[in-house]
Structure 1
Amino acid sequence: MGVIGRVSRASRLLERGVKDFFAEHGLEAWEFDMLATLLRSGADATMCMKDLSSSAMVSPGALTNRMDHLVKRGLVDRWPAPHNRRMTLVALTEEGRRVADEMLVLHAANEERLLAGLPEDEREALAGLLRKLLVSLGDTSL
């Protein structure tokens, strides 16, 4: 098996490990991504939909559907911006912040579990090589 085959297989196994982990905690991986992006946005965990779409690398249409879902779950609130009613703001609710904070810790532990077969120096080397590969393939999001 060549490099691409190994990278592809590792990606599938890691994705399954992450998906199963979030499912055990009643979340989809994309839900956590949205909550974590809002949490990282600042003290009030509020963003406009346009910035959230860009930051999360999700199309505006997909983001609207995701926010509809998270609003129904009580994890985010959404309202028109007072200074520009064409703009929509979203923020974590108290429950959304609690879930995001809790899941950040648990997600880090799950990542540690998934990478336990590699010592720290090898993880750092792998991260560097993958970063270099992604840049060479045109991924500038790093």
Structure 2
Amino acid sequence: MKRLTTHLTQGLDTVFAAHGLNAASFDVLATLRRSGAPYALTPSQLMDWTMVTSGTMTNRLDRLEAKGLVDRKKSAQDARSVVVQLTVKGLDLINACVSDHVVNQNRMTEALNAKEQEELDRLLAKWLAAFEPPDD
């Protein structure tokens, strides 16, 4: 499992690096993209989705903001809070990266046929359920 994880991580990191990202920055940008237009979430929502601490999220957001990929804006609903929003540059970048990411994921799983992929997915979900409670 460790050896397979190493190969998969290297495969993912290669695609992210080609876009000037790492796994952490991809995670934040992809989470904002999945949120739908206007591609904005509060830092707390991002922390919940990405399962990182406040300090880690602040560091990630600082770096993404410095690259012009996200903006922090005062919330229209609550002047005390902030929302993090993808910039046009950030949206263009994550769209291109996600397209390459999907191609890469297909490449990395092509050793298994469709039936084997379905079976692996079922088995991994069963195994994961032993460690995580089901969603309600």
Question: TM-score, normalized by length of structure 2?
Answer: 0.91
- Residue 68 of structure 1 and its aligned partner are, at CA, apart by 0.3
- Residue 80 of structure 1 and its aligned partner are, at CA, apart by 2.5
User: 1:140 & 1:13 partners in 2: Cα distance?
Assistant: 29
2:13 paired with 1:24: no
- Residue 139 of structure 1 and its aligned partner are, at CA, apart by 6.1
5+ residue gaps, structure 1 = 1-6
After the TM superposition, which parts of structure 1 deviate over 3 Å for at least 4 consecutive aligned residues? none
Residue number in structure 2 paired with 1:96:
90
Partners of 2:19 and 2:93 within 8 A in 1: no
After superposition, what is the alpha-carbon deviation per residue over 1:41-78, rounded to whole angstroms, capped at 9, x for unaligned?
Answer: 12100101111110111111100100000000000000
Alignment root-mean-square deviation, CA = 1.5
Residue number in structure 1 paired with 2:32:
38
Question: TM-score, normalized by length of structure 1?
Answer: 0.88
Segment of structure 1 superposing worse, 33-42 or 83-92: 83-92
User: 1:14 & 1:74 partners in 2: Cα distance?
Assistant: 29
User: 2:5 & 2:133 partners in 1: Cα distance?
Assistant: 16
User: 2:118 & 2:2 partners in 1: Cα distance?
Assistant: 19
> SS state of the match for residue 78, structure 1?
strand
After superposition, what is the alpha-carbon deviation per residue over 1:65-115, rounded to whole angstroms, capped at 9, x for unaligned?
Answer: 000000000000002324323322100000000011111111000001111
5+ residue gaps, structure 2 = none
Aligned residues with identical type, % of pairs: 36
Amino acid aligned to 1:64: T
User: 1:102 & 1:23 partners in 2: Cα distance?
Assistant: 12
- Structure of greater relative contact order (alpha carbons < 8 Å, 6+ residues apart): 2
Q: Give the number of aligned pairs.
A: 135
